[in-house]
Chain A
Amino acid sequence: MKKVMSVLLIGLLSACASQTTQPTAESTPAARAETNPNLNPILTDPNNILSKRSVYFDYDSFVVKNEYRATVQAHAQYLRDNAAAKVLLQGNADERGSREYNLALGQKRADSVRSAMTLSGAKDSQIEAVSLGEEKPRATGHDEASWTENRRTDIRYQGE
């Protein structure tokens, strides 16, 4: 019985392997862009405010809190001073409720940071604001502490 089953399994697995779409590295621009050796090291220097990449939000709020204004302004200034630099802002939401509605809430958080950056001098063409909704939580618990950690926007530079 076991032998028959494993033969059957192998046959089915190989049949299935040809059925499944698996995106290859070439199809993902993110994978194509290797770590840029020209990426300014101050962006990841722990002593520099530019290494701070997350902006957190209160429940049901989409306003950049005062404690994060300096961070956002520092990144806006960097973009203003480096015309070739680009950022991807990824907004997130906690897990409660509809996934698509949470995607839209995350979008609001990304848009909020983008607005703050453009007001401080960054160009709109240097910024893409997207949402990951509840799909990529940093904290995976089901409590207030985890939900707080997941209500945030992350700043990623092109080439990272």
Chain B
Amino acid sequence: MMHKSHDFLSTPPVNIMKPGFMLARHRQSTRCSLFLALVLWSISAPIQAALDIEIFGGGASQIPIAITPFVGEEKLKHGITAVVAADLQRSGLFRLVDSSGPSLRDPRQIAYPDWKSRGANALVIGSAVMLPDGQVEVGFYLMDVAKQVQLTEYTMIVPADRLRAAAHQIADIIYEKLTGDVGVFSTRIAYVVKQGNKYALQVADADGFNAQSIIEYSEPIISPAWSPDGTQIAYVSFENKKPIVYVQTLATRARKVVANFKGSNSAPAWSPDGKRLAVVLSLQGGSQIFLVNADGSGLQRLSQSSGIDTEPNFSPDGQTIIFTSDRGGSPQIYRMAVTGSASGVAERLTFEGSYNVSPHHNRDGKGFTFIHRNGAKFNVAVQDLATRQVQLLTDSRFDESPSPAPNDRMILYATEVKGRGILAVVSSDGKTRQELSMQAGDVREPAWGPLPKTASRWQQR
């Protein structure tokens, strides 16, 4: 069943689609599904990076929304409409409604009964106009079709090369207005690509566009971790034949060694204030959790067990760390306080099954996502810290590295399809899933970046 959104996307902006890479895969599913294949290409000299996205499933209560083409965008180098529509679709909370017909820029021209009969609850109309100085004035209205009232309107002036970013901000505003949650369309993701014996740590927009390699080498890279302010990424590199933790500043490409002690150094995790990192060292025997300042100074041991303690992750208030430990005989998830000295005291959080690993707090601090081994399958799960209830979100075989979005509504993780490593996103209710894959090579180790701290250049009309 082909969704009508294909009509809507039949005139993509030229710069995005590259002939020859366009894929049109149509697949049936037992549920009403959205099939969208966006080919995205990025810029990287030795490693090509182009994330394909496919969406599966759809939640029971999707908001039907019509997005009419922004008036004037056909004169611009980049379009707005397609980006907004794709963002909202990818969230799994929206269903695109047929928007064919004359474009509107004036809300007084809206024929509400027509949109109502098409099944739309919400309607977006907008315009994008080039100004004499070369910048673009972008504006839109969001209307409630049933009540025939305006929900919000915004206008902004942006440089011509920032139109994609403007479109993502529009999608964020629409998302927030209609769902009450903060939008994550302006965020970025980091991940590792392996092609042959080459590895690259890449950063891309959350929709896979604008991917750039920040480091490439012929030895593995694992465990990327965003600093809370999004300006730096910590990671583990094997370029010196042993695992070493680096922190790299994205804007300057400068990097420093944060942990290269005798033995292995890995699993970096930032404290919420960005001043320290938890790391796992074999320096004092075994694998134990330590704290180190972001500049590599001030080593302090945190965990104390005769087993493996690894995969530390700070709570949003910085007071506790959840981590993986096999001190009880099998790998389970524990929580301990961040204090000034090493402690053997930790509270066990997972009790189902014999393998629970890779914990990551939700940003609201009320739960965490992790990997649960279920028979022979490794799946993404979430646990509520108050009720201790666990919910499995995936049913695939080899899921790993779950990373929640900053609004906790989606979880990015690594998985495998037909022997190839890909990334996937599952909604926090488990109902919508997307796959992000490379045309060549394996993708793994994803990390969802923080909300951008850009000053708002939006103003309501």
Contact = CB atoms under 8 A, between A and B. Distances in A.
B contact residues, range: 35 or more
Interface string A121-160: 0000000111111011000001000000000000010000
Contact of A28 (B213, B223, B240): B240
B266 A111 contact: no
Interface string B137-150: 00000000000000
B255 to A, nearest CB: 6
B40 to A, nearest CB: 13
Contacts of B398: 96
Nearest to A130: B242
Nearest to A114: B263
A100 interface: yes
A19 B212 contact: yes
Nearest to A22: B216
Given A1-B19, A19-B214, A107-B263, A98 B44 contact: no
Contacts of A142: 419
Nearest to B44: A16
Contacts of A108: 286-287, 308
Contacts of B214: 19-21
B100 to A, nearest CB: 27
A15 B324 contact: no
Contacts, number: 142
A29 B45 contact: no
B238 interface: yes
A13 B213 CA distance: 11
Given A130-B243, A130-B282, A131-B264, A103 B310 contact: yes
Interface in A16-51: 16-17, 19-23, 27-30
A12 interface: yes
A85 interface: no
Contacts of B311: 98, 100-101
Interface in B201-247: 212-217, 220, 222-223, 237-243
A21 B253 contact: yes
B84 to A, nearest CB: 24
A136 B286 contact: no
A116 interface: no
A84 interface: no
B43 interface: yes
Interface string B352-369: 000101100000000000
Contacts of A87: none
A107 B216 CA distance: 25
A5 interface: yes
Interface in B325-344: 331
A92 B19 CA distance: 43
Interface in B253-286: 253, 255, 262-264, 266-267, 280, 282, 285-286
Interface in B1-46: 15, 18-19, 43-45
B222 A100 contact: yes
Nearest to B45: A17
Interface in B45-66: 45
A112 B217 CA distance: 30
Most interface-central of B44, B242, B248, B358 (chain A CB within 10 A): B242
A97 B308 CA distance: 15
B215 A135 contact: no
Nearest to A95: B398
B68 interface: no
A21 B282 contact: no
B157 interface: no
Contacts of A132: 220, 238, 243
A90 interface: yes
B428 interface: no
B43 A21 contact: no
22 contacts: A5-B18, A9-B43, A13-B45, A15-B43, A16-B43, A20-B200, A20-B216, A22-B217, A23-B217, A88-B242, A96-B378, A97-B371, A98-B324, A98-B357, A98-B400, A98-B401, A99-B223, A103-B222, A103-B267, A107-B264, A111-B285, A135-B220
Given A13-B44, A17-B45, 17 more contacts: A9-B43, A16-B212, A16-B213, A19-B213, A23-B239, A30-B241, A97-B400, A98-B400, A99-B401, A101-B311, A103-B243, A128-B263, A131-B242, A131-B264, A131-B282, A133-B243, A135-B238
Interface of B: 15, 18-19, 43-45, 200, 212-217, 220, 222-223, 237-243, 248, 253, 255, 262-264, 266-267, 280, 282, 285-287, 308, 310-311, 324, 331, 355, 357-358, 371, 373, 378, 398, 400-401, 419, 445
Interface of A: 1, 5, 8-9, 12-13, 15-17, 19-23, 27-30, 88, 90, 96-101, 103-105, 107-108, 111, 128-133, 135-136, 142, 156
Across the A-B interface, give the 8 residue pairs with the lowest CB-CB distance, nearest first. A130-B242, A104-B287, A135-B220, A16-B43, A12-B43, A104-B308, A98-B357, A21-B215
